[in-house]
């Protein structure tokens, strides 16, 4: 988990440099190819070196849908917005992913949160709000004071 967080932080920082020197679509493609290599290796080791799984046509369609919309388009938009927007405020939106997962679990799977989980959701929402509004909340107040 720590390595994933570190990789996400490093990738978010390097996006601006990478996308200014390369096409965001190419960056997205290479990002997905390089990121899939450990998954391919693990799959081959677990299924006696069989690269293509025995899936039905429906399973291939579902995987294609998830790969295109949940992967390629989502990462392409991520790289585009990260390249064209302020990076700190944009990267905090990643903290909303668990909140949306909890929300969709409640709506579609009828899951319910405990009190402590609700407190965590509130902390995440407040934190994202403060980071996204930091310029209007803090910089204006401290720029008026003289030392």
DSSP state, 94? G
Higher local confidence (pLDDT), 123 or 9 = 123
Q: What's the full length of the chain, in residues?
A: 147
Please tell me the predicted confidence (pLDDT) of residue 140: 60
Confidence of residue 7 (pLDDT cuts 50, 70, 90): confident
17 vs 76: CA distance, rounded Å: 15
Tokens in use for 29? 């493609």
Tokens in use for 10? 């490093």
DSSP state, 51? -
Please tell me the predicted confidence (pLDDT) of residue 60: 92
Please tell me the predicted confidence (pLDDT) of residue 90: 67
Tokens in use for 70? 């949940």
Please tell me the predicted confidence (pLDDT) of residue 61: 92
Closest to 123 measured CA to CA, from 96, 102, 100: 96
pLDDT in tens, 31-86: 778 878 888 888 888 877 667 778 899 999 988 888 888 777 777 777 777 667 66
User: What are the distances in angstroms from CA 93 to CA 3, 78, 99, 143?
Assistant: 19, 10, 10, 27
Instruction: Give the mean pLDDT of the chain.
Output: 77
53 vs 46: CA distance, rounded Å: 11
Stated pTM of the model: 0.48
Please tell me the predicted confidence (pLDDT) of residue 86: 67
> What is the rounded average pLDDT of the residues 118-147?
74
């Amino acid at each position: 988990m720590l390595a994933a967080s570190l990789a996400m932080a490093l990738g978010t920082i390097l996006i601006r440099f990478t996308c200014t020197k390369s096409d965001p679509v190419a960056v997205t493609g290479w990002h997905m190819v390089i990121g899939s290599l450990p998954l391919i290796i693990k799959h081959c080791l677990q299924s006696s070196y069989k690269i293509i799984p025995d899936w039905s046509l429906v399973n291939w369609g579902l995987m294609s849908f998830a790969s295109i919309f949940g992967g390629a388009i989502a990462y392409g938009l991520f790289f585009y917005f990260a390249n064209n927007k302020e990076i700190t405020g944009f990267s905090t939106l990643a903290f909303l992913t668990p909140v949306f997962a909890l929300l969709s679990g409640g709506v579609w799977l009828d899951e319910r949160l405990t009190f402590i989980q609700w407190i965590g959701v509130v902390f995440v929402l407040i934190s994202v709000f403060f980071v996204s509004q930091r310029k209007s909340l803090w910089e204006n107040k401290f720029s008026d004071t003289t030392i």
